[in-house]
Structures are given as C-alpha cells and as structure tokens.
Amino acid sequence: MFKLRSPKILTGLDITRTSVKVAQIEKLKKGWRLLRCGSIPIPENTIKLSYKSKNIINIELFHQTIRKSMELLAGGVSIAGLSIPNEIVKSSIHKYKELPKSKAEIEKMVEWGVEKLLPLPIENMKISYHIIGENQAGESVLFVTIGIQDVINEYELSLKELKIDAKIIRPSCISQLNFYINELPPTACIAYIGLFDNFFTLFVFEDAQLIYYCGVKKGVSDIHFFQNIDMAMLHYLDKNPDKQIEKIFIGSQVGHHQELEDVLKSIINENIHIENEKQIIKEAISHSEGKGLKNLLSYTSAIGAAQSL
C-alpha cells in the first residue's frame, strides 16, 4: 500500500531583548516555504541581558511568553532551533597552524586557546566552533562562539520545562546569516552586515571563506550607530588593505537601509554594489503567511534557526 510522506515542518525561535519571534517552515525540493510566523512582546522585567549573569528575572512571565508564541504555530512543537540574544555570547575567528585529527582533540585545543583569553574556568564556559577551512597561509580557521554555561543553559532548560527541545542553539546574528548564506556568491570579496536593535555584525568572505568578523554591542538604537559602522569597516580595511570589498549584503531586522548604504559608499566606494535583501528573500523562501515582504525581514533569525535543524 502506498504511503504519502508527511511534509518536514521545522520550527525556529528567536529570543531578543523585547520579543519572542517564531517561524515554521517546510523544506521543498528547491528552497523553503514559510508556513507561519509571529511575534509576542516580552513584558518588562522578564529578562535582563547579560553575558556573565543569569538573564531570566521572572520565569513565569518568560514561560507565558513562550507559550503564547507557540500558540501562533500549528500543533504541538517538541523540537526547535533556538536563536539566543547576540549580547550574551562572544564570537571570534581563531587560526591554528595545524588541527588534530579527532574531534575531542580539536575541542581541547579550542578550549585551551579560549582559556588563555578569558579569566574564567573552562568548566564554566560553553564553547562551540565551526571549521571554516584553510586560509592562504595554510592555517586552519575556526569560528568560535563562547558563552557562560549557566547563562546558555538557562534558556535551554526553560524551554525543556515546556517540553521543547532546543536541538540547535546559536546567537541571533548567526541564525540570520544562516538564512542568507546560500544566496551569497561563492567568489569575490564580499561583506555581509547584519543589523539589530542593539547589535551589528560585519562578516567578510573571500571566495566563500570567512576572513573577518566583528560583532559590536551597539545597534541602530545607539546615537553613534553610523560612526560605529564606519569604525568597523575602517578597521577591516586597515587590517586587510589588499582585500578590497567588491559587494556588500545587508541583512537588517530594523530598517535604515538607505542611510547605511550612503555611509558605506562614502567609506569604500561610491560605486560599490549593495544587494537588495528583499530580492534575496524572494529567491530564498516562498511564503503563504500574510505578513508582507517588509515585515518578513524581522523574522530572518527565526527562519534561520529553523533551517539549522
């Protein structure tokens, strides 16, 4: 007897300073379809973002917000990809002359390198890494994310209490990049800027290899936002004078595209090509959700979290 295959529906949550955003997507033969998305505001005095100390002030209000966000989706959700606030982790690029062959030995090497940088016992940290590849100097390049164990576990365990298993946990900026990454061209020197209310990122890729990363805990809500972008871009150009950026992609959950384009063109080149993220979204995901394309921009981290599963 023939049996119809059930569609693979994936769920992503994006927890920010002010809201919980959720998205459900379906994997298609080519690309993705957005089925549902929505946002629930987090009440005041529910969470207080911190890298070093626990974030959740009122667990009941936090659970209530998560439950309301789940009600926006179809059926019960037991597994999800989770985006946590950018402000509670630190990320950086690490380079090694040679990597061990076993995963356990690589983890020890990364832990040893991290322990030298931070004044905390390694057992108090939660460390994840992604092997990028080899650079032109023959070094192995890793993208490393570090958080305090108790802080990260707090979000994970809070979801577990609601019977939601956060299979993949990443900072919001990485989930956002995960959404756009397959639409970035595999050749040339490309900058990707991710914009958030209180955070921004600058990634630079050369022929699909990550060569530079900068994450700044100041976003569009900061009065010096454009000066901060200016400084980050100038820092890259100072460190990499021989690697001129050819294209720029902007992923923004908070708008301000035109102002940022003007700033970037004044720093790099007035003829620099800046991609239209709305066009990327059209090509990356089809959507039946009646939010409109403009509103979908704020859900890219939630969608990217679902895609990570």
The per-residue pLDDT for range 35-74, each reduced to its tens digit, is: 889 999 999 999 999 998 999 999 999 999 999 999 998 7
Share the mean pLDDT of the chain.
Answer: 86
Same fold yes or no, 9-87+149-176+289-307 and 184-283: yes
The percentage of the chain sitting over the pLDDT mark of 90, rounded to a whole number, equals: 44
| pLDDT score of 159 | 97
| Average pLDDT of the segment spanning 151-170 | 95
Is residue 233 packed enough to be buried (19+ CB in 10 Å), middle (13-18) or exposed (0-12)?
A: buried
Residue with tokens 């970037």, as numbered in its chain: 264
CATH of 90-148, one of 1.10.630.10, 3.40.50.10440, 1.20.1440.230, 3.30.1490.300: 3.30.1490.300
What does the pLDDT read at residue 265? 77
CA pair distance 236, 214, nearest whole angstrom = 9
Residue 157's pLDDT band, with cuts at 50, 70 and 90, is very high
Residue 287: per-residue pLDDT: 59
Provide the pLDDT for residue 283. Answer: 67
Q: What is the pLDDT of residue 180?
A: 86
Give domain limits for the chain: 9-87+149-176+289-307, 90-148, 184-283
Measured CA to CA, the distance from residue 251 to residue 179 in angstroms comes to 10
When mean pLDDT is compared over 138-152, 176-190, 247-261, 279-293, the highest value belongs to: 138-152
Q: Between residues 258 and 227, which one has the greater pLDDT?
A: 227
> Are the C-beta atoms of 135 and 95 separated by less than 8 Å?
yes
- More confident of the two residues 145 and 8: 145
Cβ pair 301, 179 in contact under 8 A? yes
Task: List, for residues 173-225, the tens digit of each pLDDT value.
Answer: 999 999 888 888 888 899 998 989 889 999 999 988 899 999 998 877 777 77
Q: Which range is most confident: 1-10, 190-199, 258-267?
A: 190-199
Amino acid at 179: F
pLDDT score at 261? 76
Query: pLDDT tens, 266-302?
Result: 777 766 776 666 666 666 666 555 455 557 888 999 9
What confidence score (pLDDT) does residue 1 get?
45
How far apart are alpha carbons 87 and 196 in whole angstroms?
A: 11
Q: How far apart are CA 187 and CA 265, in angstroms?
A: 21
User: Higher-confidence residue: 213 or 132?
Assistant: 213
Assigned fold of 9-87+149-176+289-307: Nucleotidyltransferase; domain 5 (3.30.420)
pLDDT tens string 14-39: 999 999 999 999 888 877 888 889 99
What pLDDT sits at residue 303?
93
What does the pLDDT average to over 109-134?
82
pLDDT digits (tens, 9 = 90+) for 223-232: 777 788 888 9
List C-alpha distances in Å: 8 to 81, 90, 105.
14, 33, 35
Question: Residue 284: its pLDDT value, please?
Answer: 67
Q: What is the edge-to-edge ordering of all strands in the sheet holding 273-274? A: 209-216, 200-206, 189-195, 247-252, 273-274
Structure tokens at 268: 């790099």
Classify 184-283 by CATH class: alpha beta
Q: What's the average model confidence in pLDDT over 113-129?
A: 80
